[in-house]
Amino acid sequence: MSLLSVALGSARTYLNDDAAQVWSDAALIPKLQEAHRELQIKLWEVNSPVVRKQSVEFLISAGATTLTTPPADMLTPFKLVEYASIGETLVNAVDMTEQNFLPTGTPISNKLVWWSWKEELITFLGATVDRKVVVYYRKSIPVPASAGDPIGILFGELYLGARAGAIAHGSVGNKDAYGIMTALAADNFSKVVAAQRGQQTPPYKP
């Protein structure tokens, strides 16, 4: 994957400042960081696999009501599955049911059944036996802070360069250039989305 320096060079081309006489790294990097955060949100909105992840299995001890050590890069979970701690694997997993409010007062069983996401914590009613849980979640991608940092998104520089160029033009009141660069960034976003799909192709039709 490309480094932030590639996106910096792209943004400067759109700003007609290839020699970095006007837009230094210090001036451009905050704009690229803002574009990077926007890109992550946009990728989530289109269900891109680059911001979705499956966790390792977690052992939830009998009676436990929280996932105490969630994945470090987790922003929000969107699905949990569970299976027996002994004799079963992920192929035996069953979907758990998300609840805004756990049905307190319900007797616990040998399955967790429900989960809730509150104040950045996954909670359960608990089970009478140990269970294993796998979490599917939206992950965070580190926002690059210096020119040598990776972007973390395949071909992300296509969007970041154009979008940072737009933000920079807008910051100095160049509305026309801002509009043009914003439109280019939107067009380049579709290319970034396509790049995350790997070898997936539409079904063959003769």
Tokens of 58: 């977690």
- Kindly list the distances between the CA atom of residue 39 and the CA atoms of 11, 44, 113, 164, 175, in Å, as whole numbers in the listed order: 15, 9, 35, 11, 21
Specify the pLDDT at position 205. 39
22 to each of 12, 33, 152, how far by Cα in Å?
9, 19, 27
Structural domain boundaries in the chain: 4-48+141-195, 51-139
Residue 60 near residue 128 (C-beta atoms within 8 A): no
Can you give the pLDDT of all 206 residues of the chain as single tens digits? 799 999 999 999 999 999 999 999 999 999 999 999 999 999 999 999 999 999 999 999 999 999 999 999 999 999 999 999 999 999 999 999 999 999 988 999 999 999 999 999 999 999 999 999 999 999 999 999 999 999 999 999 999 999 999 999 999 999 999 999 999 999 999 999 999 876 444 443 33
Residue 98: the pLDDT is 97
> pLDDT value at position 104?
86
